[in-house]
Structure 1
């Protein structure tokens, strides 16, 4: 079957159009969120970074080079992506694409423009920096990050406001951090008051781990320490959202052979993902089930099975079809080890380009 016509039509789709469609679907879904789905009356966004692989072509290698640790011809081009997800809907609301060696915090600074006033940004320790906390506050937003490992914890400093809860004054760095211009660094305030909440993870047989959270939510009455600790526990949801994108939908290994088509492919994946989240939201809110308890994979399978019926059905019949969406039990504080059950094939890794390997086979 000749697919050239399909490929030519696909290449004519403007990248900006796909980016706009992805953003519009996310925005319309966010507009449906009611107060009951908010955290302490605030909308929470979760930020994280990941990578995607693509075919080994000259164009892709030039735009998104493979890791420097791999020999030429033995690796694949890899792009770094930064994504902001909505904690309430699970939808991806913002995306940025860059090269592999881009630090997560550099991606984050390109994503702050997509935050709305009063949003709360939730992230891991990679995003916990002085300049970024200031930038988020300047946008009339707040942040909840895990404390960066480079910052030492002192029990004696700070104003105690509760059990394992204190207000701490941070001071502007003495040197301009990488990624900031001299003007941006000069505009930073000399001090910043943040709230530090710490707790302990105790697992029998393992060393007790202390976790410190840094937040700009200073009101201890509205935002209790227990509520904030519980909120950070939901940060794991972003890992599940990325897994849905990369594993469930198959975005982990892209198929397009040029950088522009690679970016289009990523936007189409996120567009499809958001459309599934929109369907889950519609089904859940219509039938009194929390939308995030529905299965994204089950929604996808049912949608594929019922597309012919949906096209031919009336509006009333579509509501009956929504009832078939798979529902899964709630699993709070879920944590899974990053291991693989299926064993890989016992072939050695590719350490030389294929043309050299062919020559070795011919001379052997």
Structure 2
């Protein structure tokens, strides 16, 4: 008799309600997995050693266990059904199973889980009734295969040195800043800019929300609809030096109601954009930095005090910390993914997003029990907890798990981080580049 599937173990073991393993597995409703396969037409029609639903868990395991081979993950998590040729399928069979699954089920599952987890967490940690989000971009390396380089492209190394050593994927996310959960993601070739990918994210901003973005994302066609459509949706951005506006009303020291008058050509490209667009401008200066101006649709000075808006803008940095958690901790600073084909890269990225959100979901629960903000819980410890529990639950008896979980969760509670300190991180090179020549593709 074969061992039950991972999702079935969760459903069949309601006694495991005291720790990370069942909360990790139970957070993904087994029906969601079935719906993802059904919606994308990728369900397994005939009996295979690695059915499609198990391959989904394999992709999540690849995200959580960066330092293990894929076939080792299949074996350690007991994902394969018994077969005549041994306890685990051949590496080629695992690769074929991943190829059959493709990336669409993982995207469907990411979007379904993110819609629930990220928005719920953002609402629970709102600012003045508004869920707080950020949009920003990053890049990640992928294996240097001909398929990846042709599809994703690479960065110009400059100074006549050719292109970067690895192809690059550009990633732009909508993140709940106070929980670090990913609400939506767009990615693709590096040759396409961040603003273009971000256009697929603005519609994902929910009602009663504020999205904070860097000045490079100033775009009439994106920001104006956030302000005008939906219920109580707002944006906050740092002004570029070349923007011009006219003051309408003084609201306080360095606080003004202003009007922008977009050019006719801009209005033609943005249906509904008026001749006069009213917004708020807040000027401030932090010690050691140049004066800055924030532009925002938060026009009510009584409901949204200027000092709080200035402090809130700097929470935008949380999205950079989230990217660091993925690259440094989950990918263990080995930023290149595993897949040598674009479809496999997409599959991995969606799986990485789901796994990251699962870790962050556990952090939310630990923070609630510890009565601290989610940003006060160590991501490293929560990631270790989930890795340990997944591996533990795959090999141990159900009766031994609750005690083990209590011990590990008690240990995590001791790793509540101290309150954030005000720090300055000027941009500077910390490591000298190597004197050795770089290995780069030969131009044809």
TM-score normalised to structure 2 length: 0.70
In 2 relative to 1, CA 73–215 (structure 1 residues): closer, same or farther, beyond 3 Å?
closer
Residue 28 of structure 1 corresponds to: 116
Decide whether the 8 Å contact of 2:245 with 2:258 is kept in 1: no
Shift of 1:69: 5.2
What CA deviation, in whole Å up to 9, does each residue of 1:314-342 have, x standing for no partner?
A: 66864553222232112154453556766
Task: Work out the CA distance in 2 between the residues paired with 1:309 and 1:212.
Answer: 52
**Of 256, 273, 279, the match for 1:188:** 273
Matches within 5 A, 1:200-239: 200-203=285-288, 208-239=289-320
Residue 436 of structure 2 corresponds to: 347
In 2 relative to 1, CA 351–263 (structure 1 residues): closer, same or farther, beyond 3 Å?
closer
Shift of 1:44: 0.8
1:92 counterpart = 2:187? no
RMSD: 2.7
Deviates more, 1:16-25 or 1:267-276: 16-25
In 2 relative to 1, CA 27–319 (structure 1 residues): closer, same or farther, beyond 3 Å?
farther
Residue 324 of structure 1 corresponds to: 411
Decide whether the 8 Å contact of 1:86 with 1:92 is kept in 2: yes
Deviates more, 1:333-342 or 1:102-111: 333-342
In 2 relative to 1, CA 302–340 (structure 1 residues): closer, same or farther, beyond 3 Å?
farther
**Of 307, 328, 344, the match for 1:261:** 344
Decide whether the 8 Å contact of 2:244 with 2:260 is kept in 1: no
Shift of 1:189: 1.6
Residue 374 of structure 2 corresponds to: 291
Decide whether the 8 Å contact of 2:122 with 2:131 is kept in 1: no
**Of 118, 131, 135, the match for 2:225:** 135
Shift of 1:223: 0.3
**Of 326, 331, 336, the match for 2:425:** 336
Residue 149 of structure 1 corresponds to: 241
Decide whether the 8 Å contact of 1:22 with 1:274 is kept in 2: no
Task: Work out the CA distance in 2 between the residues paired with 1:55 and 1:309.
Answer: 31
Residue 386 of structure 2 corresponds to: 303
What CA deviation, in whole Å up to 9, does each residue of 1:28-52 have, x standing for no partner?
A: 3235438662111110111101111
**Of 36, 41, 51, the match for 2:129:** 41
In 2 relative to 1, CA 335–304 (structure 1 residues): closer, same or farther, beyond 3 Å?
farther
Decide whether the 8 Å contact of 1:147 with 1:213 is kept in 2: yes
Shift of 1:281: 0.8
Residue 63 of structure 1 corresponds to: 151
Shift of 1:344: 5.5
Decide whether the 8 Å contact of 1:283 with 1:323 is kept in 2: no
1:197 counterpart = 2:278? no
Residue 35 of structure 2 corresponds to: none
Task: Work out the CA distance in 2 between the residues paired with 1:167 and 1:332.
Answer: 32
Task: Work out the CA distance in 2 between the residues paired with 1:332 and 1:12.
Answer: 49
Task: Work out the CA distance in 1 between the residues paired with 2:355 and 2:152.
Answer: 24
Task: Work out the CA distance in 1 between the residues paired with 2:354 and 2:402.
Answer: 23
In 2 relative to 1, CA 304–186 (structure 1 residues): closer, same or farther, beyond 3 Å?
closer
Decide whether the 8 Å contact of 2:257 with 2:278 is kept in 1: yes
In 2 relative to 1, CA 190–319 (structure 1 residues): closer, same or farther, beyond 3 Å?
farther
Decide whether the 8 Å contact of 1:74 with 1:353 is kept in 2: no
Task: Work out the CA distance in 1 between the residues paired with 2:164 and 2:137.
Answer: 25
Shift of 1:107: 1.6
Secondary structure at the aligned position of 2:243 is classed as coil
Secondary structure at the aligned position of 1:169 is classed as strand
Task: Work out the CA distance in 2 between the residues paired with 1:3 and 1:270.
Answer: 24
Instruction: Give the unaligned 5+ runs of structure 2.
Output: 1-70, 72-89
Task: Work out the CA distance in 2 between the residues paired with 1:349 and 1:34.
Answer: 43
Greater share of helix: 2
Task: Work out the CA distance in 2 between the residues paired with 1:338 and 1:168.
Answer: 32
Please identify runs of 4+ aligned residues in structure 1 that moved more than 4 A.
68-74, 308-311, 313-317, 332-335, 337-345
1:10 counterpart = 2:98? yes
